[in-house]
Structures are given as C-alpha cells and as structure tokens.
Amino acid sequence: MKKEILSESTGVTKKIGEKLGKEVLLKKEPVFLSLEGDLGSGKTTFVKGFGKGLGIDDEMVSPTFLIYKKYSTRNNRDFYHFDAYRISDKDLPLLGFEEIIREDKNIVVVEWSENIRKSIPKKAVKITFSFVDHNKRKLIVESNNDIITGSF
C-alpha cells in the first residue's frame, strides 16, 4: 500500500499521528514506524500526536541526544521513540535494538530512520515527510502489511 496525505497544519499532522496511535494500540503484533524527511518536516509533530493516541500524557520531544526514550501506553505496551539523527546501524547493538524490535508488545518509532536503513524490519511502515509550503506537509505512507489500513 502506498498513500499520499496532505497536512494543512501542525495540528492536522498531530491528528493524523493520534489517529494512527489509537489504531496501533489495538494491534497484538509488534509495530515499527520508520519516519524519514528533512529537519522541520513534521516527524516529531507526528510522533507527539501518535503518543497521545497511545495514551501517553508525557510531553514528547525528539530524543536527539538521548537516542531513545521509552514510554508506557494505556494498555501496558511499551513505546520506544528513537531518534537516529546521530547514530548508524553499527551503534544499535549497544542499545539492545534487536531485542526491542522483536518483542511483541513493543511499538517502535524511529525518526531519521534513513540513517539505520539496514536495521529497519521488512514489515515496517515507512512514512516520508516533505515540505509543501510554510504550513503544509506531504506524508507518503508505504506499507506491505495491514497495520495501518484504517488510519489514512
């Protein structure tokens, strides 16, 4: 599946993320979202909405210097928010990345996933963010599974 979505504002981008987060929370299998796009294109804004949809009340910021942050969702799944801006595939074993993405209860989102492309699972949902203008963003969603069928 490949779908293009136009977001008119940061609020709409958050709502798109929130809707997907609510849907993903109902899934039993591990979920992996691969987010790509230029700086300021909406990745973190999307993740903030996604976290809200998962029932996370904490303020979410991109974990650029922490590399990742773990949260608990409202149904006791674990949500891992990675920022791969400053890392590469060779850094992932030190973080326990393989174990994290294999665990069925985990939901994983990676911003700047193009920096760890070799380690992205085949079943990942890829969302590419790009600028249309000052406020508008284009999201291209690509998936080879049914994790996000009703979200967009």
- pLDDT single digits (tens) 75-104: 889 999 999 999 999 999 999 999 999 998
Report the C-alpha gap between 67 and 95 in whole angstroms.
9
Q: Which of 31, 2, 23, 10 is nearest to 110 (CA)?
A: 31
Per-residue pLDDT of 38-51, as tens digits, reads: 999 999 999 999 99
Q: Would 24 be classed as within a structural domain?
A: yes
- The pLDDT, as a whole number, for residue 27 is 84
Q: Would 6 be classed as within a structural domain?
A: no
Q: Would 151 be classed as within a structural domain?
A: no
Q: What global pTM score does this model have? A: 0.92
Under DSSP, the state recorded for 124 is P
Q: Which of 142, 129, 152 is nearest to 1 (CA)?
A: 142
Q: Would 7 be classed as within a structural domain?
A: no
Count of the separate structural domains present in the chain? 1
Q: Which of 115, 130, 141, 117 is nearest to 37 (CA)?
A: 130
Q: Would 8 be classed as within a structural domain?
A: no
Q: Would 4 be classed as within a structural domain?
A: no
Q: Would 103 be classed as within a structural domain?
A: yes
Domain extent, residue 111, equals: 13-130
Domain with 20 in it: what CATH number? Answer: 3.40.50.300
- The pLDDT, as a whole number, for residue 29 is 83
Q: Would 124 be classed as within a structural domain?
A: yes
